[in-house]
Amino acid sequence: MMVKVWQQARGIGIAGALLFSTSIQAQSDRFADVVITTLPLQDSVFMLTGAGGNMVASAGPDGLLLVDDQFAPLADRIEAALIALPEPATLSERPLKYVINTHHHGDHTGGNRHFAGRGAILLARESARVRLLDAAPTPDTPLPVITYSDGIKIYFNGDRLQLLGLAGHTDGDTAVFFEQANVLHAGDLFFKGRFPYIDVDSGGSVGAYMASQARMLDLIDDETRVVPGHGPVADKHDLAASYRMIAATRAAVAADVKAGRSLSDIQARGVAAAYRSLAWAFITEERWLQILYRDVLEHGAGD
């Protein structure tokens, strides 16, 4: 998902600054009741949820590592949850060394300023860094300091983390695979039980989204704990179901386009009954069909 207030507030002088501070106030209120919940996944790896994109943390002798950091108003609560991970330790005893941004959207990167201020090194795909820079509300906004295109590996807490440089949700996605723990954070390349959001205006596409899902499916097995960008913890079967749903709904829209049906015709009929329950507030059935329709027009029917 994405948050527009950052972009809205950018580059329009005093009015922009006022709008920005108002937006921050509104954000704080919106997050007043959010609680950060910790779910142990495997050994030293934990899933953390609050509001916004799911997080994964590693806690062990090398310190802490965090994948995504939700919204700025939650940063203190996320930090408290990190400190409370087994064995509880302050950040000076067990430093937060790395924060990985799975992509640039504000519900995954809002804590960057707070955690960079705690000494964490931010990592992201180079193209995600470009978008974070473009959306930065102030010149001193912390940005990823280590970037990559295809990917990079981190050896941490006895595990090897593969950061896979991917695309499809945006043009700067990362999935993080903890090889030993057998945990995959898919970022927003996977929404469990919902139609995915494909941010075409940030370089996303349905074809790249499916290719990235196929790459992740190749990498994992039936025991892998798969953390979606949004939704509860999942497994390979759930990720495969998402891939099949996208393929089936796209093929249906491609056939409709070939038969000369308009977007409103396609939306009036809707998706196949089996997929209707995947609609949610942000990506309704109509919006999902619109994303597919636009993709078919731009990229052709595919196979």
Q: Which residues bind Zn ion (CB under 5 A)?
A: 1, 105, 188
We find the least distance from the C-beta atom of residue 188 to Zn ion, in angstroms, to be: 4
Q: What is the DSSP string of 271-301?
A: S-GGGGGG--SSS-HHHHHHHHHHHHHHH--
We find the least distance from the C-beta atom of residue 261 to Zn ion, in angstroms, to be: 30
| 195 token code pair | 């139609």
Calculated CA dihedral for residues 4, 191, 69, 59, nearest 10 degrees: 180
We find the least distance from the C-beta atom of residue 1 to Zn ion, in angstroms, to be: 5
Tell me whether residue 69 or residue 188 sits nearer to Zn ion (CB atom).
188
DSSP 191: B
We find the least distance from the C-beta atom of residue 2 to Zn ion, in angstroms, to be: 6
Phi and psi at residue 210, to the nearest 5°: -70, -40
We find the least distance from the C-beta atom of residue 296 to Zn ion, in angstroms, to be: 22
Tell me whether residue 110 or residue 207 sits nearer to Zn ion (CB atom).
110
Tell me whether residue 1 or residue 263 sits nearer to Zn ion (CB atom).
1
We find the least distance from the C-beta atom of residue 203 to Zn ion, in angstroms, to be: 12
Coil, strand or helix: which one is 135? helix
Task: Indicate the burial class of 93 (C-beta count within 10 angstroms; 0-12, 13-18, 19 or more).
Answer: exposed
Tell me whether residue 156 or residue 191 sits nearer to Zn ion (CB atom).
191
Tell me whether residue 44 or residue 109 sits nearer to Zn ion (CB atom).
109
For residues 294 and 289, give the distance between their C-alpha atoms in angstroms, rounded to a whole number: 9
Tell me whether residue 7 or residue 264 sits nearer to Zn ion (CB atom).
7
Q: Is the dihedral of CA 143, 147, 151, 153 positive or negative?
A: negative
Q: Find out whether 57 and 46 touch, Cβ atoms under 8 Å.
A: yes
